[in-house]
Structure 1
């Protein structure tokens, strides 16, 4: 597993299921994906400057498993810190599943 240069204690002070917009996804988190499944850990987030819709309109999220997902800005997502130790209620995780998902690259 990669090392994430983030204050682990600060991450634990946030809610276990953290609502974020697609452009605010951060490295070291897992996303709640379709069907309520958690993704691999986010290792890189890149705002797309040369997107046909214009600069700063889309973001590419790279996951530890090698997959990349492109999201338009403003998509509501839910993030979970990769080392979250608090129990996650499966019903809460299922309820946090996104209504829309990005495009795999």
Structure 2
């Protein structure tokens, strides 16, 4: 998910929000959750091998606050780096809030 730019200004002009699919979420990012709220930082991502729907069909995202959410593959999500310096405004977050969210799991 990293992009490199030769022009520093071009990098600064890019949006801090990045679209991803649920199976492509990486550690160190925060997800834009329902209602446009940012989640805690993603601590771990695990593809579920023994899911009833079959292997490589679901992913469990674990957050630093101790919560876990299970997503089916190909759910469109939006992420932002946990230490992002570019401004991320509340209206921008609400605009990219996901239409569907995963299933919360208990640890």
Fold agreement, TM-score > 0.5: yes
CA distance in 1, matches of 2:89, 2:68: 27
Match of 1:60 in 2: 60
CA distance in 1, matches of 2:90, 2:35: 11
1:16 is aligned to 2:16: yes
CA distance in 1, matches of 2:45, 2:23: 8
**CA-atom RMSD, angstroms?**
1.6
Structure 1 unmatched ranges of 5 or more: 1-6
Structure 2 unmatched ranges of 5 or more: 5-10
1:31 is aligned to 2:54: no
When normalised by structure 1's length, the TM-score is: 0.86
Task: Please state whether the residue corresponding to 2:40 is helix, strand or coil.
Answer: strand
- What is the Cα deviation at residue 15 of structure 1? 3.5
Q: Which has the larger radius of gyration?
A: 2
Task: Please state whether the residue corresponding to 1:40 is helix, strand or coil.
Answer: strand
